[in-house]
Chains A and B, each alone.
Chain A
Amino acid sequence: QKEVEQDPGPLSVPEGAIVSLNCTYSNSAFQYFMWYRQYSRKGPELLMYTYSSGNKEDGRFTAQVDKSSKYISLFIRDSQPSDSATYLCAMGGKLVFGQGTRLTINP
């Protein structure tokens, strides 16, 4: 079993939709939870990080961590075509990544 599970998609939604991306994990020792965005032929770029459980909001993006369920989420409100990318969850210090979800926002 993988340490971090993430549905690879692909996920395609219309512009303006609310997008929900999720990961589950097995290692209860993880304290830091990250969401990275990766455009084609580029390296991952940090979107947000959360420490322990709770919510964190940054503009149109909200990250949630539920340590009791070992479940993390990223919500994108008012999605834009420029949000089209692969979204990767990652955890820990030496990062453990999910497989990434390829997201397309259709105009």
Chain B
Amino acid sequence: EAGVTQFPSHSVIEKGQTVTLRCDPISGHDNLYWYRRVMGKEIKFLLHFVKESKQDESGMPNNRFLAERTGGTYSTLKVQPAELEDSGVYFCASDAASGPYNEQFFGPGTRLTVL
């Protein structure tokens, strides 16, 4: 069974440009999460989808970030316009929402560099 996949693995853009990150969760996983790690800091929660609905977007830094999950399958995270402080590694995770504890499976991350 394929794990969580993310595309691209690395993106380098200029300040002010737009970037879209994609996450394909494990098939059948209703819960999808986005996290981010900026240099020297801990991994931080951004938002949580249950199927196509945003359950919790309390970690989204500002309105330059827009997340969508079309049809409850893959998700995209768009940054527009990108700023220098958006550089970091963006992780996606998914879980099956089948019990009181659900292991979150992480993708390899997208490394975003804003110049």
**Bound complex: CA of A57 vs CA of B5, how far in Å?**
30
Known contacts A94-B45, A97-B44; A46/B101 CB under 8 A: no
User: Which of A36-44, A58-66, A71-79 participates in binding chain B?
Assistant: A36-44
Contact of B108 among A36, A42, A99 (CB under 8 A): A42
Chain A residue nearest in CB terms to B48 = A94
For window 33-55 of B, CB contacts with A under 8 Å fall at: 33, 35, 41-45, 48
- Interface residue? B103 (CB, 8 A): yes
A96 touches B45 (CB 8 A): yes
Chain B residue nearest in CB terms to A46 = B103
B103 touches A99 (CB 8 A): no
- Interface residue? A45 (CB, 8 A): yes
**Bound complex: CA of A53 vs CA of B100, how far in Å?**
16
Chain B residue nearest in CB terms to A49 = B101
* Residues in A neighbouring B41, C-beta threshold 8 A: 99
* Residues in A neighbouring B45, C-beta threshold 8 A: 94-96
* Residues in A neighbouring B44, C-beta threshold 8 A: 97
Known contacts A49-B103, A94-B33; A4/B42 CB under 8 A: yes
Interface core residue of B41, B43, B56, B107 (most chain A CB under 10 Å): B43
- Interface residue? B74 (CB, 8 A): no
Please tell me the number of chain A residues within 8 Å of chain B, measured between CB atoms. Answer: 22
**Bound complex: CA of A97 vs CA of B105, how far in Å?**
15
B42 touches A43 (CB 8 A): no
Which applies to chain A's interface (DSSP): helix, strand, loop or mixed?
strand
Per-position binary interface string of chain B over residues 73-110, scored 1 when its CB falls under 8 Å from any chain A CB and 0 otherwise: 00000000000000000010100000001011111110
- Interface residue? B4 (CB, 8 A): yes
**Bound complex: CA of A2 vs CA of B42, how far in Å?**
10
Contact of A44 among B59, B101, B106 (CB under 8 A): B106
B104 touches A46 (CB 8 A): yes
**Bound complex: CA of A2 vs CA of B103, how far in Å?**
24
Chain B residue nearest in CB terms to A45 = B106
A44 touches B91 (CB 8 A): yes
Q: List 6 A-B contacts (CB under 8 A).
A: A43-B93, A88-B43, A90-B43, A95-B35, A95-B45, A100-B43
